[in-house]
Chains A and B, each alone.
Chain A
Amino acid sequence: MAHFEFSDRPLDAAALHATVEDRTCGGFASFEGWVRDFNDGRPVERLEYEAYALLAVKEGDRIIAEAMARFGVTHARCVHRVGELALGELAVWIGVSAPHRGEAFAACRYIIDEVKHRVPIWKKEHYVAGDSGWVNCERCAAAPTVTAHPHGAARGHDQDHDHDHGHDHATPRAPASVGVHAPGLPSPDYSRQRVLPEVGDAGQARLRTARVLVIGAGGLGAPVLGYLAGAGIGTIGVVDGDVLDTSNLHRQTIYSLADVGRPKALLAAERLRALNPEVDVRPYVQRADRSTLPPLAGGYDILVDCSDNFATRFVVNDVAVRLGKPAVAASIYQYEGQLQVVMPGGPCVRCVWPRATRPGVVGNCAEAGVLGPVPGVLGSMQALEVIKIVLGLESPACTGVLLVDLRTLETRRLRARRAAGCAGGPCTELDPVEPAPSLEMELDLATPGAAADFTVVDVRDPDEILARPLPVARLHIPAARLAAGAALPEGTGPVLLVCARGQRSLLAAEALVARGVSARSLRGGLAGQPRHA
């Protein structure tokens, strides 16, 4: 059974449903997109879909594979119509079955969002007035003479893709024969690594679905980021609050002299997108600390500690230990480096260094001096360890600390033992990290003053709001817009997001919190509100 396919005939939802039924699954989630009669203020009569099938099916299959790997669902399928469709017809059908409902919902949502953003499909709308216009449904697509953004790389250029089938791109465009990459740009080629027996197609797929958060975009971070993007790691987050300084460039060679003074997280993101447009790069211009890191870390599979101070080093360790995620840590001193991979259940950085070290005991790069290739070597080793974790290759780096002396070219592996009660006790109590608070909250919106601490934001679509208005809401911003980066009005304060069932509002709240906005989601949405007589 194909995971993603096109059909030029009407879709039969019941027949499709039958193809993902499974006795081992307790949950099934489906999404249907229908042809709507109105778009951009113009009545629509019928429409046509056209796809660049070769490319579209490949990308669609990739999305389904990502969803299955990321959410661990049992079956996932997406069928998209091509050809002529009448009003009310089924344009796209997605079905996901999984042991539990949570994964099924999340995977279904992921698939429709990604298909909307990444799969090249064009739509010709025939308006009631008699004319027609082509609309490219591909995310951020533009006429080929203008900049065409590769998928996933143009975060700041998001439009509201929450439409189910009606489009929301302002200007109809001619169907362009561009794929997911900018015109004239070759596709990333992983053949030199794929040929390794440990990589292969399966390994490359794992790299593509991996989400890695790199803390620090300096001497260690620069090679880490470059190699991870080059390897095709699907999602890379970069946390760094510093701006580029001229003294950084001798060891941070992904940057340019002309970039001095700009935030390194943004510069790194630009560089990585240019290096590999397939990578979804997420820059966070902020310091990683006890309050900022936990909400970010939840969205990633592996943390890479490329920081240059003990405080951050321990925060990254503590968050990784608490969340049970691997962390790859390195640090340098002049010609030497220390490398430690923290795997769940293994010794952590605090098991090795139980006393949080006072700053100033040993110098930083500015005081002690450093030659550029030293962090270059250690950062390259970190990138390699990340790739090994993703590929499932064993590494002795998780058994303790590797000491590397690049002056004598000697390396020494020192085995460490996990401290008794590491995760629950000694390793986190010195500088405890509060677990990420749940973003969901329960309250009765009808109770006067219940939501007084918040600005209530209705994140439903306009037609839903018309059908069931929510007078207590002060703002109306669709969830997809918030998730895509839309800002709240200046001085809004903490927000409580509300949607129909609490799913979209939770996703949007997570996106806002990741950007440093104080946001909560109403559990259960309007459907979960108590009935009042």
Chain B
Amino acid sequence: MISVDVQYYALLREQAGTSRERVATSAATAQALYEELRARHQLTPEVSQLRVAIDGEFAGWHDALSDGAEVVFIPPVAGG
């Protein structure tokens, strides 16, 4: 198990009901973590509609997570 700091933006924040949370997980990749959280919070967007950033940098969904990582899930927004 590792512990990561997860942040949600826009629609994800609304659906998760929080903008950040500490998550203990056995997920190895960003995608596995998202699917876990998706089931827990009933998040509607699919991975293909989002971007993930790990430790301040946009990352790939198959990138590995490490203990203490900061993971940000971001949907695109278009309001103006």
Residues of A in contact with B (beta carbons under 8 Å apart): 216, 218-221, 306-310, 313, 330-334, 336-338, 352-353, 355, 357-358, 361-365, 368, 370, 375, 400-401, 403, 405, 407-408, 410, 412-417
- Is chain A's binding surface mostly helix, strand, loop or mixed? mixed
How far is A414 from B54 in the complex, measured between Cα atoms in Å? Answer: 9
Q: What does the 1/0 interface line of B36-80 toward A look like (CB < 8 Å)? A: 000000000100110101001110000000000000101111111
Shortest beta-carbon distance from B77 to chain A in Å: 4
Which B residues are in CB contact (< 8 Å) with A362? 10-11, 75-78
Q: What residues of B have a CB within 8 angstroms of the CB of A220 in the complex? A: 80
Contact across chains for B78 and A414 when beta carbons are under 8 A apart = no
Known: A332-B77, A332-B79. 12 other contacts (CB 8 A): A307-B78, A309-B78, A331-B79, A333-B11, A333-B79, A357-B49, A361-B49, A362-B75, A365-B79, A370-B79, A375-B79, A415-B57
Q: Which residues of B contact A375 (CB under 8 A)?
A: 79-80
- Nearest CB on A from B64, distance (A): 18
List 23 A-B pairs, Cβ < 8 Å.
A216-B80, A218-B80, A219-B80, A220-B80, A306-B80, A307-B78, A308-B80, A330-B80, A332-B80, A333-B77, A333-B79, A334-B14, A337-B77, A338-B77, A355-B48, A357-B78, A362-B11, A362-B76, A400-B58, A403-B9, A403-B72, A405-B9, A414-B74
Say yes or no: B51 contacts A352, CB within 8 Å: yes
Once bound together, how far apart are the Cα atoms of A307 and B77, in whole Å?
11
Residues of A within 8 A of B78 (CB): 307-310, 313, 331, 357, 362, 364
* Interface residue from B51, B56, B57, B72 paired with A353 (Cβ < 8 Å): B51
A246 to B19, alpha carbons, bound, how many Å? 32
Chain B residue with minimal CB distance to A408? B19
Q: How many pairs of residues, A versus B, come closer than 8 Å at their CB atoms?
A: 99
Contacts of B75 in A (CB 8 A): 361-362
> Given the complex of chains A and B, what is the CA–CA distance between A357 and B75 in angstroms?
10
Complex-state Cα separation, A220 to B14, whole angstroms: 23
Partner of A415, one of B9, B11, B56, B76: B56
For A407, what are the chain B residues with a Cβ–Cβ distance below 8 Å? 19
**How far is it, in angstroms, between the C-alpha of A338 and the C-alpha of B75 when the chains are bound?**
10
Check A412 against B11 for contact (C-beta < 8 Å). Answer: no
Contact check, B58 vs A333: say whether CB atoms are below 8 A apart: no
Residues on B with C-beta less than 8 A from A403 are: 9, 72, 74
Q: Which residues of A contact B7 (CB under 8 A)?
A: 412
Q: Are A355 and B9 interface neighbours, CB within 8 A? A: no
Residue of B nearest to A375 (CB): B80
A417: chain B residues within 8 A (beta carbon) = 58
Name the residue on B nearest A413 (C-beta): B56
- Over the window 1-18 of chain B, the binary record of Cβ atoms lying under 8 Å from chain A Cβ atoms (1 yes, 0 no) is 000000101110110000
Asked if A307 and B49 make an inter-chain contact with CB atoms under 8 angstroms apart, the answer reads: no
Q: A336-B10, A416-B58, A417-B58 are in contact. Are A331 and B77 (CB under 8 A)?
A: yes
Give the one of B14, B19, B78, B80 with max A CB within 10 A.
Answer: B80
A333 CA to B11 CA, complexed, in Å: 8
- Indicate if the CB atoms of B45 and A405 lie closer than 8 Å: no
Shortest C-beta distance, B75 to chain A (Å), equals 5
The interface residues of chain A lying within 8 Å CB-to-CB of B72 are 403, 412, 414
How far does the alpha carbon of A26 sit from the alpha carbon of B46 in the complex, in Å? 59
- How far apart sit A172 and B50, CA to CA, in the bound complex (Å)? 66
* Nearest CB on A from B37, distance (A): 18
Query: How far is B26's CA from A507's CA once the two chains are assembled, in angstroms?
Result: 65
- Bound-state CA distance A333–B77 (Å) is 6
Chain B residue at minimum C-beta to C-beta distance from A374: B79
Query: In the assembled complex, how far is the CB of residue B23 from the closest CB belonging to chain A, in whole angstroms?
Result: 18
Q: How far is the CB of B1 from chain A (nearest CB, A)?
A: 26
Q: What is the minimal beta-carbon distance from B29 to any residue of chain A, in angstroms? A: 18
Tell me, in angstroms, the Cα distance from A216 to B80 when the chains sit together: 8
How many angstroms between the C-alpha atoms of A400 and B72 in the bound complex? 14
- Inter-chain contacts of B74 with A (CB < 8 A): 338, 401, 403, 414
Q: Assess whether B9 is in contact with A336, with CB atoms less than 8 Å apart.
A: yes
Residue on B with the closest CB to A369? B79
B58–A415 touching, CB < 8 Å: yes
Distance in angstroms between the alpha carbons of A370 and B58 in the assembled complex? 27
Asked if residues A365 and B80 are in contact (CB atoms below 8 Å), the reply is yes
Chain B's closest residue to A368 (CB) is: B79
Task: List chain B residues, Cβ under 8 A from A412.
Answer: 7, 56, 72
Give CA–CA (A431, B28) in the complex, Å: 34
Q: How far is the CA of A398 from the CA of B67 in the complex (A)?
A: 30
| 3 smallest beta-carbon distances between A and B, as pairs | A308-B80, A333-B77, A333-B10
- Please tell me if the beta carbons of B76 and A357 are within 8 angstroms of each other in the complex: yes
- How many Å lie between the Cα of A308 and that of B7 in the bound state? 25
Name the A residues within 8 Å of B79 (CB-CB): 219, 308, 331-333, 363-365, 368, 370, 375
Report the bound CA distance from A417 to B7 in whole Å.
21
Instruction: Tell me the nearest residue of chain A to B80, going by C-beta.
Output: A308
**How many Å from the CB of A422 to the closest CB on chain B?**
14
Q: CA A352 – CA B74 in complex, angstroms? A: 11
Neighbouring A residues of B13 by C-beta, 8 Å: 336
Rounded to whole Å, the gap between the CB of B7 and the closest CB of chain A is 8
Distance in angstroms between the alpha carbons of A306 and B11 in the assembled complex = 20
**Residues of chain B lying within 8 A (CB to CB) of residue A415:** 56-58
**A353-B80 contact given A400-B58, A405-B9, A414-B57, CB 8 Å threshold:** no
Please indicate the chain B residues that have their CB under 8 angstroms from the CB of A337 in the complex.
77
Contact A336 B58 (CB under 8 A): no
Please measure, in the bound complex, the distance between the C-alpha atom of A405 and the C-alpha atom of B13, giving whole angstroms: 11
